[in-house]
Structure 1
Amino acid sequence: MAIANNKTQCFTCNRDKITYLCKGCLKEFCRTHLAEHQQMLNDELNHIADKYNEFKQRINEQKAQTFINDIEKKLNDLSEQIKQIHKENDFNEINLNYLRNRLTEITRELNNPTHISIQQNSQSFINEISEKPNVITVTGGNGQGQQLNQLNFPYGIFVDEKKNIFIADYANHRIIEWKYNTKKGKIIAGGNGQGNRIDQLNEAKFVIVDQQKHSIIIADSENRRVIQ
């Protein structure tokens, strides 16, 4: 009586053996190479966990400058999922792809923040604005133009601890510093026409002030560069 042949080819060694299907990658592995495949998945999970820890450190370093509560909440949720997978030790490529994609999404969100950055200790200024019964104009409001009391499509802003407002004046290709309670601003970067020279900007979108180093960081979008 012939013995039924229940052997199939192992994806790794290409030999006909009793194999086991990995439902994550849908490949068949013999017992030996299934263990190796599982170890590879473990290594990948550890790699994702390392990337998470690096990202968490980056979040902690930026807390002093920006409000990132929403990103941190998403990161904490991801941390719980990684811990749960580690604890259960029952996962495949589908789970790893989800974790990897989620971490990529959160990283992208941090790298492309909302248009407004606020120094953490400027909260009193925000409260002051919130308590005012009517909307007020704090910069610009004098029509579209290039004068120091005008703006042309202001995009990103940054408010420092002294309540000064730094504006990425997008269509004027310049960065304006508008000191608190004044009627006009001062050009601190660009303002020399649209271009790619070191003294020019091209549709700058974001600005952050590093007060410790007394410098500004600008996302010069159409020049595809970030300058300091």
Structure 2
Amino acid sequence: MAMANNKTLCSICNKDKITYPCKGCSKEFCLMDLTEHRQILNAELHRVTNEYNEFKQRINEQKQNPHNHSLIKQIDQWEINSIKKIQQKAQDLEYLTNQLMKITQELNNLSNMSIQQNLQPFINQISIIITEKPKFNKWKQNAITVAAGNECGHELNQLNLPFAMFIDKKKNIFIADFQNHRIVEWKSNAKEGQITAGGNNAGYRMDQLHYPRDVIVDQQNHSVIIADSENRRVIQWSRQN
């Protein structure tokens, strides 16, 4: 069976799709509804067959009574008509089964399918994304110093046990200088840092820190937030205007 070129309305879902005819009822069905229609016919065939068998059994019992002779003739005619209906349903079911088998074969054999011309604009919009391998897949084996590196000390070009750091959008490094009880801002390529918070020896005053362990920068509010460990507090230090 060739794929339909023109779309028509499915008699069940009423959508404009590629449809297939049912030889029995002469209606058009899309692939999904064609399967459902086949199941309905199959169920109806079983129901009619069962009713026929039950009724035939009762008729055979009634034939034993001669007073029911005229009624038996009517029933015999009904039996003939019922057999014709059952045969027609069976033919419809066989036709739909063959239709579905052919459709399945065509879907499995893509070489028999052709792309309709009106689908080409959609296909042209499909883009292929190629993932490139990263150019750098190894780390360099030597490093550069970005802050301090002038031995241990409290000068602006020195650090004493840097504990944590934060890098802002401008690539400035804010360092929790643990043993110097201060937060130091180190700009890119700078030779020395700038004290942002603390730096007034260890203490609990609001201008002092005591072993700061962490720092983050609130760039929206222009402030730094510090985990002041030995003072058991977290404080916010605002930048001066």
Could you say whether these structures have the same fold, taking a TM-score greater than 0.5 normalized by the shorter chain as the test?
A: no
TM-score scaled to structure 1, two decimals? 0.42
Name the larger-Rg structure.
Answer: 2
TM-score scaled to structure 2, two decimals? 0.40
**Structure with more relative contact order (C-alpha pairs < 8 Å, separation 6 or more):** 1
